[in-house]
């Protein structure tokens, strides 16, 4: 039986993230082929894209911000929610976070996070869990990269991030202008033009804003 770890290794190439070359990820060469093969392996059609197999714009921008401003995570406990490849989590570990957890409900994402963290020589706890019913479980910093692309996810993500912020966590969001980014109580921290896959975004670059969720 093919394991999630072996599937990730077989269908990706380890290479630098375009906008964050300090970090290497297991990335897919052919987005559609990996998507179709994921469905075949699970025997399910209509799955969401394999978010773990690509360096999405919001995650790249968020990782860039963390590496360029290590003080936001250094010595602190970090939770990267809906982590995908683990890019922002790995950046946090590289920037000196005391502990980093990357949460995702996709078994392939959890495998990819483990492989990617190992490839970069950092410690990240990959948590196979839906954490959106809580408040970030004591994390000092909560990261959310490119999570507002679908209304049903945004409807759960916004109150989760608000609960984390209300208990005192720093909440940072990397977003390239997705449709369901919440309006209001967002303070821009940085803006980047991030290289992306034309197959996924119908563009060569996306403008990403890193936001802090205010109180």
User: Structure tokens of 33?
Assistant: 């082929």
Residue 161 region, left (φ>0) first, then alpha (ψ -120 to 50), else beta? alpha
Helices (H), 44-189: 57-68, 87-94, 107-119, 151-166
Quote the percentage of the chain above a pLDDT of 90: 80
For the chain, list the domains and their CATH numbers: 4-213 (3.40.50.150)
pTM of the entire predicted model = 0.94
Residue 121's φ and ψ, nearest 5 degrees, are: 70, 35
pLDDT value for 47: 66
- What number is the average pLDDT over the span 102-108? 95
The DSSP bridge pattern shows strands 125-127 and 170-175 to be unpaired
User: Structure tokens of 164?
Assistant: 């984390």
pLDDT in tens, 36-64: 888 787 776 666 778 999 999 999 999 99
Q: Are 70 and 95 in contact (CB under 8 A)?
A: yes
Residue tagged 């070359």 (tokens): 21
pLDDT in tens, 123-159: 999 999 999 999 998 999 999 999 999 999 999 999 9
pLDDT value for 202: 77
Dist CA 123 CA 63 (whole Å): 16
pLDDT value for 166: 96
């Amino acid at each position: 039986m093919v394991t999630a770890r072996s599937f990730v290794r077989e269908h990706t190439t380890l290479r630098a993230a375009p906008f964050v070359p300090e970090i290497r990820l297991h990335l897919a060469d052919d987005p559609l082929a990996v998507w179709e093969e994921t469905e075949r392996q699970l025997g399910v059609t209509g799955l969401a894209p394999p978010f773990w197999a690509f360096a999405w714009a919001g995650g790249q921008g968020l990782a860039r911000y963390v590496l360029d401003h290590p003080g936001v995570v250094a010595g602190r406990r970090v939770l990267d929610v809906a982590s995908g490849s683990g890019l922002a989590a790995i950046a946090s570990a590289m920037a000196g976070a005391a502990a980093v957890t990357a949460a995702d409900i996709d078994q392939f994402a959890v495998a990819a996070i483990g492989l990617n963290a190992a490839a970069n020589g950092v410690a990240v706890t990959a948590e196979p869990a839906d954490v959106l019913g809580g408040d970030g479980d004591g994390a000092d910093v909560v990261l959310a990269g490119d999570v507002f692309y679908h209304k049903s996810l945004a409807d759960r993500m916004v109150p989760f991030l608000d609960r984390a912020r209300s208990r005192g966590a720093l909440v940072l969001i990397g977003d390239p202008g997705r449709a369901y980014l919440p309006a209001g109580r967002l303070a821009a921290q940085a803006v980047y033009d991030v290289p992306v896959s034309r197959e996924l975004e119908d563009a060569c670059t996306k403008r990403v804003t890193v936001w802090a969720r205010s109180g």
